Structure formats: structure tokens, C-alpha cells
């Protein structure tokens, strides 16, 4: 999925390993005679900040590449962002999320 995002010209994202569950059935594990239901599964949470006109291509890239067809694929939430600043340059809003070309970028 990361490759798919790269192809869609997305150049910045944050990834977190989280735990959660959707509608999946719970896994059962056994430890030395104790049966345990694992209520939470390992998941990945990704945050991507994009300009308005990039929202559709980004969502489409994620939906296309992350879909496995199984319950537990997850969701994409599109949230409004008030303001964005690039820390390195102080640029705001659209300029902040426009990727900077060149080898020194990122």
C-alpha cells in the first residue's frame, strides 16, 4: 500500500502500530491450560495530510491497495484540518503539504 501511495504522489505519512478490532471473530489462544480470547488484534494506523484536491486520489489509492476482502480491512476517515505548517520552512496550508522535489527532500 505504501508503494501505491508513492505512485499517487503522496510523500508524507505517519504510521502507528495499534491494537483494535472491527467485526472480526476473536482469536483463541492457549497458555498452559488457560484459554484466552484475544479481544484486540494488531492493526496499523496511518495519518496522511493532503491538500483538498489530493483527497480523492489518496483515498482511492488506499482503498485499491489495502483491500483484502476479509473482515478487518479497516476504514478511511477523511477529516477536515484547520491549518497545516511545515516546521522546516514555516510554510502554511497548501504550500506545507506540497512535496518538495530534489534529493534533499524529506
Partner 1 sequence: MNSADIAWMLVATALVLLMTPALGFFYGGLVRSKNSLNTMMMSFAALGVVAMAWAAAGYSLAFSGEGTWIGNLGHALLRGVDLAPHGTIPHVLFFSYQGTFAIITAALISGAIVERMRFAPYLVFLTAWGLLVYAPLAHSVWGGGWLSRLGALDFAGGTVVHVNAAAAAGVAAWVLGPRKDHARQAMLPHNVPFTLLGAGLLWFGWFGFNAGSALGANASAALAFTNTLFAPAATLTVWTLLDLSRGGKATAVGAATAIVVGLVAVTPAAGLVGPLSAIAIGGVAALPSYFALLWRARTRLDDSLDVVAAHGVGGAVGALLTGVFAQKAWNGASDGLLFGNPRQLAVQAAAVAVTAIFSAAMTFAILRAIAIFLPLRASVREEGLGQDVVQHGEEAYSHGEGAILVLPEPGAPSLPAPVVALGTGGAS
- For partner 1, the binding residues (CB under 8 A) are 29-34, 36-37
Report in angstroms how near the CB of residue 27 gets to partner 1 at its nearest.
Answer: 12
Residue with Cβ nearer partner 1 (34 or 106): 34
Report in angstroms how near the CB of residue 30 gets to partner 1 at its nearest.
Answer: 6
Nearest to 10 by CA among 45, 52, 44, 61: 61
Residue with Cβ nearer partner 1 (4 or 41): 41
Torsion of CA 73, 41, 1, 81, to 10 degrees: 80
Cα 103 to Cα 68: distance, rounded to the nearest angstrom: 34
Amino acid at each position: 500500500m505504501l508503494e501505491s501511495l508513492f505512485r499517487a504522489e503522496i510523500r508524507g505519512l505517519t504510521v502507528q502500530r495499534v491494537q483494535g478490532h472491527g467485526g472480526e471473530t476473536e482469536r483463541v489462544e492457549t497458555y498452559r491450560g488457560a484459554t484466552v480470547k484475544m479481544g484486540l488484534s494488531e492493526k496499523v494506523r496511518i495519518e496522511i495530510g493532503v491538500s483538498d484536491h489530493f483527497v480523492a486520489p489518496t483515498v482511492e489509492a488506499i482503498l485499491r491497495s489495502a483491500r483484502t476482502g476479509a473482515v478487518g480491512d479497516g476504514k478511511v476517515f477523511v477529516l477536515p484540518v484547520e491549518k497545516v505548517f511545515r516546521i522546516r520552512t514555516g510554510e502554511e496550508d497548501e504550500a506545507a503539504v506540497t512535496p518538495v522535489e530534489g534529493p534533499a527532500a524529506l
